[in-house]
Amino acid sequence: MNNDVIIFVMGVSGSGKSTIGKLLAERLDYPFFDGDDFHPKANIEKMAQGKPLNDTDRKSWLERLNRLSIEHKNKGAVIACSALKESYRQTLSKHLNENCRFVYLEGSMDEINQRLAQRTDHFMPPALLKSQFETLEVPKNAIRVSINNSPEKIVNTVVKVLET
């Protein structure tokens, strides 16, 4: 595997992006960045009020994550980001050429709703999950893994695919 791959771990809120992203970054010896940390304050406040973000809200955030990925494209990084639409993924991967992979953490609304119901440490209320599924455009060119596997199995699967 190249040492200069930017890996976006994507999926709806509660799919495990941060958990898998951190483990994958550790395994690959890459830095990890949680996309949520790069949201403008206005976006976080909007989501905390139970209002879904729109494309305009997401634009500067996605562009910031793209700049972050370009800064790391020669050394690699793992970035957790919902990346729900194809147009978002295009923005995220702009100027990365072949140095970009998406890992899609796949789960049903029921499975993820159960996870969100147990979370207390996140600004994203479970009520916004429906809007995320409505926005989601399942990626065609991603490493797709089920959230029903253990985090270790998910990471092993992703690494195996990256190595081929």
pTM of the predicted protein model:
0.90
Q: pLDDT per residue over 96-142, tens digit each?
A: 988 899 999 999 988 887 777 665 554 455 567 788 888 899 999 99
User: Residue 111 to residues 35, 36, 51, 156, 157: CA-CA distances in angstroms?
Assistant: 22, 21, 22, 22, 20
Sign for the pseudo-dihedral over CA of 96, 147, 124, 47: positive
- Supply the CATH classification number for the domain 6-163: 3.40.50.300
Q: What is the mean pLDDT of residues 10-34?
A: 95
Instruction: Please give the full DSSP string across 2-37, using - where no structure is assigned.
Output: -S--EEEEE-STTSSHHHHHHHHHHHHT--EEEGGG
Question: pLDDT, tens digit, for every residue of 66-109?
Answer: 999 999 999 999 999 999 999 999 999 999 988 899 999 999 98
